[in-house]
């Protein structure tokens, strides 16, 4: 298909003193309440937030079955707080046959026994409150599991009241003019799918059900039938499910695959782009199956439903879109009445080999800050669907990976934008792709092997300690193998090393909270002709902080014309810059970040 996912070809991937103390796990960062004085503002919490995505299978196993669970997350709430995280987004933890590891939901108002119970989720939310960490859930609205009672009923008979909750089609005569060889591959009872739509996960997007003699549409696996959002009963049932969790105190939702709710009512063929994808299907544009205008009416109603709740509940969208003009629509344009935070995938996800391209970053950041009618950007470089950024942005020298990861953190945490990060990123965890087909768990890696190896590599267990199973589980049979580097890349080791990935991450999240300029200062790009160093100043008027990041493997000397040029280093990834006191004639070693207050 389908540029719903950008990273994998045709699919996924498609004047603070320098803080040198290494925070041990038990060392408290200031809590929200403590820091709110220095940074008090009327802005809703999510405007300054760091949001941390947790893949629940992989974070912490509390009961020794080799699979992470909710109580595991609850146990780690102190760690999450000390990271400087304001909210966690938990990937789907609802009952599910786990074909797509939870993105195939069979009951929206419960918890999969593998992960715990509703009571465990209530405890998790309460622990979050104690630790000033808000909880966001993943809401999958495009499709359900084929084992959801709604679909079981829908597929039982054309006369069942639930039938029209899904997208059905009688198919067309296999001998009709214009039917392609591809469509004929999916022939049943003389009928073929009504058009060329392919599933993002391989094969036709239409699946035949003998009991009703019809095809149903599925954007993803055939076990994930698409809901029919043209039926108002579907909207009501889905909004009810959202209210179930809002009533329990969740702070909002990450809306899965949200641009895909509607399909073209005329079922027009998607334009062919030429060639065959990793799953063996023709490459198609997603013109008639994604980002249809109808979706915005639903989002406006959803926003007003969510806004009835106190406490600034937030809607985050998984919005892979072609450009900023399309992204602007997801905020609601001038009205700003749709999603508060549609994800901006245009900065962090370009392809298999992302580049630290200074002008590209500068231009896109400027565009995102100015072209969405005041919408708050939400930037992101890592998630559970794409090769980790530490791998994607790496250059030829593996020794640079860590510095590059730190440079991306500097960008993420020092912009006037909401920051979204993914568990393990704070440690510099890498993608560990399976090397044998028989080890693959993600079905797209099985059907797509060896061209598409699936998403297991970025879902490996969280690395807590150098001990057995990295402290993730007491069970040697973890659901996915540990990454081989866990003895050195882990929370315990890194919290004792002042220059670790983890300490850099925490330094930045703390500065973002405590420093008024980094918290809420306006951004001005500096040295805009440079093709090697990204630099900008954040300023409230009285407080100013300059940020400079060398995006290259060579040392770069810069002179930044900002205020008097007198500087005081707040944080840097290179010790040679710790006592730098001027913005002039400054040499940044390869991939180095420098953050300094200026007068």
Residue 140 is a binding residue for ligand BGC (CB under 6 A):
yes
From 256, 458, 503, 543, the catalytic residue: 256
CB-based contact 200:4 (threshold 8 Å): yes
Q: What residue 69 binds from Mg ion, ligand BGC, none (CB within 5 to 8 A, per partner kind)?
A: Mg ion
Nearest-Å Rg of the Cα atoms of the chain is 24
Nearer to Mg ion (CB atom), residue 65 or residue 107: 65
Span interacting with Mg ion, options 53-61, 120-128, 423-431, 579-587, rule CB under 5 A: 53-61
| Cβ neighbours of residue 237 closer than 8 Å, sequence gap 6 or more | 150, 165
Residue count, binding to Mg ion (CB under 5 A): 5
- Determine whether 100 is an active site residue: no
CA 465 to chain CA centroid, Å, is 25
Instruction: Specify which residues 252 forms β-bridges with.
Output: 136, 314
Catalytic residue check, 318: yes
Residue with tokens 């309440």: 33
Q: Can you tell me the distance from the alpha carbon of 111 to that of 93, in angstroms, rounded to the nearest whole number?
A: 6
| 458 touching ligand BGC, by CB under 6 A | no
Q: Of the candidates 557, 567, 544, which has an alpha carbon nearest to the alpha carbon of residue 589?
A: 557
Q: Taking Cα atoms as reference points, which of 20, 51, 36 lies closest to residue 509? A: 51
Using the rule CB under 6 A, is 486 a contact of ligand BGC? no
Closest approach of Cβ 431 to ligand BGC, in Å?
A: 15
Q: Which is nearer to ligand BGC, 194 or 200 (CB)?
A: 200
Least distance to Mg ion, CB of residue 481, Å: 16
On whether the CB atoms of residues 131 and 30 are closer than 8 A, the answer is no
Residues between 307 and 326 that touch ligand BGC (CB under 6 A): 318
Taking residue 325's Cβ as centre, other Cβ atoms within 10 Å add up to 12
| Cα dihedral value 193, 199, 202, 204, nearest 10 | 0
Of 257 and 502, nearer to ligand BGC (C-beta) is 257
Q: Which is nearer to ligand BGC, 127 or 387 (CB)?
A: 387
Rank residues 191 and 384 by Cβ distance to ligand BGC and give the closer one. 384
Quick one: what does residue 385 bind among ligand BGC, Mg ion, none, with the CB cut-off 5 to 8 Å set by partner type? ligand BGC
Nearest CA among 450, 397, 353, 356 for reference residue 14: 353
Give whichever of 65 and 287 is closer to Mg ion, judged by the CB atom: 65
Of residues 220, 472, 479, 505, which one binds ligand BGC by CB under 6 A? 220
Which residues have CB under 8 Å from 132's CB, separation 6+? 31, 32, 33, 81, 86
Footprint (CB under 6 A) of ligand BGC, residues 50-69? none
- What count of other Cβ atoms lies within 10 Å of the Cβ of residue 159? 7
Number of residues that bind ligand BGC (CB under 6 A): 9
Binding ligand BGC (rule: CB under 6 A), the pick from 77, 257, 278, 586 is: 257
- Closer CB to ligand BGC, 242 or 403, in the complex: 242
Q: Shortest approach of ligand BGC to residue 260 CB, angstroms?
A: 8
Residue 123: both structure tokens together: 């405890």
Least Cβ distance, residue 87 to ligand BGC (angstroms): 18
Q: Are 591 and 553 in contact (CB under 8 A)?
A: yes
Using CB distances below 5 to 8 A depending on partner kind, what does residue 417 bind out of Mg ion, ligand BGC, none?
A: none
The whole-angstrom separation of Cα 522 and Cα 540 is 6
Q: Smallest distance, Å, CB 467 to ligand BGC?
A: 30
Angstrom distances, CA of residue 377 to CA of 137, 138, 434: 20, 19, 34
- Of 233-272, which residues contact Mg ion (CB under 5 A)? none
Looking up tokens 């080999």 gives 353
Please report, as residue ranges, which positions from 411 to 430 form the binding site for Mg ion (by CB under 5 A).
Answer: none
CA–CA separation, 19 and 22 (whole Å):
8
Paired residues of 538 in beta bridges: 523, 545
Per CB under 5 A, contacts with Mg ion among 57-96 are 61, 63, 65, 67, 69
| Rounded least distance, CB 385 to ligand BGC, Å | 5
Residue 409 or 456: the one with the smaller Cβ distance to ligand BGC is 456
Q: Which of 81, 256, 286, 574 binds ligand BGC (CB under 6 A)?
A: 256
Using CB under 6 A as the binding rule, the residues of this chain from 85 to 124 that contact ligand BGC are: 100, 103
Host H or E run for residue 336: none
Beta bridge partners of 594: 548, 572
Count CA atoms closer than 13 A to 90's CA, side-chain side: 30
The binder of 63, among ligand BGC, Mg ion, none, by C-beta within 5 to 8 A per type, is Mg ion
Of the candidates 318, 442, 452, 574, the residue annotated as catalytic is: 318
Question: If DSSP codes are grouped into helix, strand and coil, which group holds residue 538?
Answer: strand
How far is it, in rounded angstroms, from Cα 589 to Cα 594? Answer: 10
Q: What sign for the dihedral angle of Cα 30, 36, 37, 40?
A: positive
Q: Is 219 exposed, middle or buried (0-12, 13-18, 19+ CB in 10 A)?
A: buried
Site for ligand BGC in 385-444 (CB under 6 A): 385
Q: How far is the CB of 75 from Mg ion (least distance, A)?
A: 11
Q: How far is the CB of 64 from Mg ion (least distance, A)?
A: 7
67 binds, among ligand BGC, Mg ion, none (CB under 5 to 8 A by kind): Mg ion
Residue number, 60 or 223, with CB nearest to ligand BGC: 223
Q: Which is nearer to Mg ion, 121 or 408 (CB)?
A: 121
| Residue 65's binding partner out of Mg ion, ligand BGC, none, with CB under 5 to 8 Å set by partner kind | Mg ion
Classify burial at 310, counting beta carbons within 10 Å of its beta carbon; exposed 0-12, middle 13-18, buried 19 or more.
exposed
Query: What whole-number distance in Å separates Cα of residue 462 and Cα of residue 472?
Result: 6
Beta-ladder partners of 535: 526, 548
Interacting partner of 256 out of ligand BGC, Mg ion, none (Cβ under 5 to 8 A depending on kind): ligand BGC
Q: Which residue of this chain has its Cβ atom nearest to ligand BGC in the complex?
A: 103
Task: Report the interface residues with ligand BGC, using CB under 6 A.
Answer: 100, 103, 140, 220, 256-257, 318, 384-385
Residues with a catalytic annotation lie at: 256, 318
Residues that bind Mg ion (CB under 5 A): 61, 63, 65, 67, 69
């Amino acid at each position: 298909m389908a540029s719903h996912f950008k990273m994998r070809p045709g699919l996924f991937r498609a004047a603070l003193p320098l803080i040198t103390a290494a925070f041990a796990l038990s060392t408290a960062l200031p809590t929200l309440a403590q820091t709110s004085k220095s940074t008090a503002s009327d802005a809703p919490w999510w405007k300054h937030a760091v949001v941390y995505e947790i893949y629940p299978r992989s974070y912490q196993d509390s009961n020794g079955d080799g699979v992470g669970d909710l109580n595991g997350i609850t146990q780690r709430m102190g760690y999450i707080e000390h990271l400087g995280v304001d909210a966690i987004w938990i990937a789907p933890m609802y009952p599910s046959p786990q074909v797509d590891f939870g993105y195939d939901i069979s009951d929206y108002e419960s918890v999969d026994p593998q992960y715990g119970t509703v009571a465990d989720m209530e405890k998790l939310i309460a622990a979050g409150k104690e630790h000033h960490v808000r909880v966001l859930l993943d809401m999958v609205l495009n499709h359900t599991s084929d084992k959801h009672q709604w679909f079981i009923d829908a597929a039982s008979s054309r006369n069942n009241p639930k039938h029209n909750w899904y997208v059905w089609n009688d198919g067309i005569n296999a001998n009709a003019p214009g039917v392609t060889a591809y469509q004929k591959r999916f022939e049943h009872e003389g009928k073929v799918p009504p058009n060329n739509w392919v599933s993002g996960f391989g094969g036709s997007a239409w699946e035949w059900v003998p009991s009703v003699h019809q095809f149903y549409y599925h954007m993803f696996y055939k076990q994930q039938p698409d809901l029919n959002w043209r039926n108002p009963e579907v909207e009501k049932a889905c909004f009810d499910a959202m209210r179930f969790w809002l009533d329990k105190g969740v702070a909002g939702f990450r809306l899965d695959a949200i641009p895909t709710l509607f399909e073209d009512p005329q079922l027009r063929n998607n334009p062919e782009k030429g060639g065959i994808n990793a799953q063996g299907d023709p490459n198609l544009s997603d013109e008639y199956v994604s980002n249809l205008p109808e979706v915005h009416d639903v989002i406006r109603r959803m926003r007003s439903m969510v806004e009835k709740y106190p406490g600034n509940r937030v809607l985050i969208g998984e919005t892979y879109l072609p450009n900023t003009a399309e992204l602007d629509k997801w905020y609601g344009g001038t009205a700003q009445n749709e999603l508060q935070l549609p994800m901006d995938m245009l900065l962090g996800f370009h392809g298999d080999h992302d580049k630290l391209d200074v002008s590209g970053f500068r231009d896109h950041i400027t565009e995102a800050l100015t072209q969405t009618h005041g919408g708050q950007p939400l930037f992101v470089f890592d998630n559970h669907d794409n090769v980790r950024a530490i791998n994607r942005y790496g250059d030829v020298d593996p020794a640079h990976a860590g510095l590059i990861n730190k440079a991306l953190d500097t960008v993420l945490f020092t912009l006037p934008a909401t920051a979204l990060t993914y568990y393990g990123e704070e440690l510099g965890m890498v993608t560990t792709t399976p090397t044998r087909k028989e080890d693959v768990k993600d079905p797209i890696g099985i059907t797509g092997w060896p061209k598409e190896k699936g998403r297991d590599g970025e879902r490996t267990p969280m690395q807590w300690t150098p001990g057995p199973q990295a402290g993730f589980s007491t069970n040697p049979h973890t659901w996915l193998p540990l990454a081989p580097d866990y003895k050195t890349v882990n929370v315990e080791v890194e919290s004792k090393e002042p220059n670790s990935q983890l300490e850099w991450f925490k330094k930045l999240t703390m500065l973002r909270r405590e420093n008024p300029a980094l918290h809420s200062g306006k951004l001005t790009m500096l040295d805009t002709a440079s093709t090697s160093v990204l630099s900008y100043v954040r300023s409230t008027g009285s407080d100013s902080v300059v940020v400079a990041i060398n995006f290259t493997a060579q040392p770069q000397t810069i002179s930044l014309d900002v205020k008097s040029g007198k500087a005081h280093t707040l944080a840097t990834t290179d010790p040679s810059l710790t006592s730098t006191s001027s913005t002039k004639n400054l040499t940044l070693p390869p991939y180095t970040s420098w953050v300094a207050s200026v007068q």
